[in-house]
């Protein structure tokens, strides 16, 4: 069985990329109330940042997703078109139905973020 706490996940959890706030910008904040995973996503002039707390999967997912968006320079339309499968591909780990929710919080947050500003 594949180990979900791969190096990559732990690395992004411990050393998140795109972590921080943007001042003067209203974030989209989402919470998974069943477990307390929280994410706030900020966007300004094509720059994306996040803050949050919670399980390793939820936080690493935010870091990895924002890295993908930034490296591939995805447009708001492309971000909105990202699917659950795309998110699985970003995370590269097998996720049970329960943990999938943790992995998808970041996707939901960033999709709501681009919907707001478009």
Partner 1 sequence: MSLDIQHIKSQFPLFERSINGRSLVYLDTAATSQKPHIVLNAMEEYYRKHNANIHRGIHVLAEEATELYEEARSIVARFIGSAKDSEIVFTRNATESINLIARSWAEDHLRKGDEIILSEMEHHANIVPWQMVAKKTGAVIRYIPLTSDGQLDLVAARDIIGPATKIVSIVHMSNVLGTINDVREIRAMRDLLAPGAIYIVDAAQSIVHEKIDVQDIGCDFLVFSGHKMYGPTGIGVLWGRLDLLETMSPFLGGGDMIRSVDFEYFEPNFVPYKFEAGTPAVAEAIGLAAACEFIEKYDRKVVLEHEMELAHYLIEELKQNEHITIFGPETRGPLVSFTHAKIHAHDLAQILNDEFAVCVRAGHHCAMPLNKKLGISATTRVSLGIYNDQRDVDRVLDGIARAEEIMRV
> Where along the sequence are the contacts to partner 1 (CB under 8 A)?
1, 3-5, 10, 13-14, 33-37, 54-57, 99, 102
Q: Find the largest Cα–Cα distance for the chain.
A: 45
Residues 6+ apart with CB under 8 A from 61: 87, 90, 91, 102, 103, 104, 105, 106, 107
CB of 12 to partner 1, least distance (A): 13
CB of 93 to partner 1, least distance (A): 11
Q: Looking at beta carbons only, is 10 or 115 nearer to partner 1?
A: 10
Rounded to whole angstroms, how far apart are CA atoms 111 and 105?
10
Beta bridge partners of 53: 38
Closest to 32 measured CA to CA, from 110, 111, 109, 91: 109
Q: Looking at beta carbons only, is 29 or 35 nearer to partner 1?
A: 35
Q: Looking at beta carbons only, is 3 or 71 nearer to partner 1?
A: 3
CB of 69 to partner 1, least distance (A): 24
Rounded to whole angstroms, how far apart are CA atoms 86 and 70?
15
CB of 30 to partner 1, least distance (A): 14
Q: Looking at beta carbons only, is 43 or 99 nearer to partner 1?
A: 99
């Amino acid at each position: 069985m594949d180990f979900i706490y791969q190096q990559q996940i732990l690395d992004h959890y411990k050393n998140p990329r795109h972590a921080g706030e943007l001042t003067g910008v209203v974030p989209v904040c989402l919470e998974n109330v069943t477990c307390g995973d929280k994410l706030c996503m900020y966007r300004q002039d094509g720059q994306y940042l996040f803050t949050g707390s919670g399980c390793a999967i939820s936080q690493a997912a935010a870091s990895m997703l924002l890295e993908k968006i930034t490296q591939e320079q995805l447009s708001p339309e492309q971000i909105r078109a990202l699917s659950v499968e795309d998110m699985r591909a970003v995370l590269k780990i097998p996720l049970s139905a329960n943990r999938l929710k943790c992995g998808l919080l970041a996707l939901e947050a960033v999709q709501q973020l681009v919907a707001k500003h478009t």
